[in-house]
Amino acid sequence: MQDTATAPTTVDPSEVERFAALAAEWWNPRGKMRVLHRFNPVRLAFLRERLVTHFARDPKAIRPLEGLRLIDIGCGGGLLSEPLARMGASVVGIDPAERNTRIAALHAEESGVPVEYRATTAEAMAEAGERFDVVLAMEVVEHVADVSLFIESAARMVKPGGLMVAATLNRTKRSFALAIVGAEYVLGWLPRGTHDWSKFVTPEELQAAMEAGGLAVVERTGVVFNPLGDSWRLSGDMSVNYMMVADRPA
Ligand SMILES: C[S@@+](CC[C@H](N)C(=O)[O-])C[C@H]1O[C@@H](n2cnc3c(N)ncnc32)[C@H](O)[C@@H]1O
Ligand SMILES: [Mg+2]
């Protein structure tokens, strides 16, 4: 057994504290989490489409993800967990910030959507032998203390034949200009200090970590902001925001 005081962890306490302090803001579409709310249409459509295709589900079904066990790592207030549960998936949302999982659970209950929330980490879940058809790490990779351990733990939880999707920020000059200077200082979309550019992860690094975890990357796509329409869309440009899909061959 590992000594919990010295076991390696992906948790950066200052990051988790910062998100916990914002817990009341999760479901306010015009509040400090507004960027995540603006992301939601494009990433939910992407997830629905890729999951339906991968698991050969009926695209017209109301609950096409019925029977799939899904983990949303770093779920925050459950902005993704809830709609995915509505699509029929059996969702476990985890976050090391207990305030987040409490807010998330309250919101799910009020909405009448069954989601199981746990205040824990990917490494603890993986170590406990938890396995899922779908593993999500959306907008969390750039906040962890140890990317290799984080991705390795997430990958371990993917069942054979299962899928992992990650969304994060690339470490480029452009992401410094747009995601830090633009979003935090000029536009004020995000509270200052939300992101630490040095913790951003390049697609090559993310792909290598996924492959080290036994996964095969099947798709990479950029996500870009469209100022007309105040919305986001998929793009070949991965220089700032991007998503990566990988599977564990059956
Ligand atoms: C930007 S939010 C994203 C929330 C959600 N995934 C979404 O996209 O709506 C990042 C979340 O990751 C959580 N987090 C930070 N460090 C983590 C870690 N090491 N493992 C899992 N989650 C973590 C934070 O508490 C926060 O809720
Ligand atoms: Mg982020």
pLDDT at 145 over 90: yes
Q: pLDDT digits over 214-236, tens only? A: 999 999 999 999 888 889 999 99
For residue 6, what pLDDT is reported? 75
CA–CA gap between residue 137 and residue 134 (Å, rounded): 10
* Range list of H helices, 89-190: 98-111, 122-127, 147-156, 173-175
Instruction: Give all strands of the β-sheet with 132-138 in edge-to-edge order.
Output: 116-118, 90-94, 69-73, 132-138, 158-169, 241-247, 216-226, 231-235
Per-residue DSSP letter, 98: H
Q: Domains plus CATH for the chain? A: 13-248 (3.40.50.150)
What stretches of the chain adopt beta strand conformation (E)?
69-73, 90-94, 116-118, 132-138, 158-169, 216-226, 231-235, 241-247
Total-model pTM: 0.96
Query: Is the C-beta atom of 36 inside 6 A of ligand 1?
Result: yes
**Best of 25, 84, 95, 141 for a ligand 1 pocket test (most atoms within 8 Å of beta carbon):** 95
Q: Which atom of ligand 1 is nearest to the CA of 95?
A: 22
Q: Could you tell me the distance, in angstroms and rounded to a whole number, from the CA of residue 60 to the centre of ligand 1?
A: 31
Backbone angles phi, psi at 31, to 5 degrees: -90, -155
Q: pLDDT digits over 9-63, tens only? A: 999 999 999 999 888 899 999 999 999 999 999 999 999 999 999 999 999 999 9
Q: Could you tell me the distance, in angstroms and rounded to a whole number, from the CA of residue 122 to the centre of ligand 2?
A: 17
**Best of 17, 140, 144, 152 for a ligand 1 pocket test (most atoms within 8 Å of beta carbon):** 140
Query: Is the C-beta atom of 140 inside 6 A of ligand 1?
Result: yes
- What is the rounded average pLDDT for all residues in the chain? 95
The pairing of strands 90-94 and 69-73 is parallel
Query: Is the C-beta atom of 95 inside 6 A of ligand 1?
Result: yes
Q: Could you tell me the distance, in angstroms and rounded to a whole number, from the CA of residue 73 to the centre of ligand 2?
A: 13
Amino acid at site 162: G
Q: What is the DSSP string of 151-165?
A: HHHHHHTEEEEEEEE
Ligand positioned closest to the Cα atom of 180: 2
Q: Could you tell me the distance, in angstroms and rounded to a whole number, from the CA of residue 139 to the centre of ligand 2?
A: 5
19 and 76 Cβ atoms separated by less than 8 Å: yes
Q: Is 74 annotated as a binding residue?
A: yes
For residue 5, what pLDDT is reported? 62
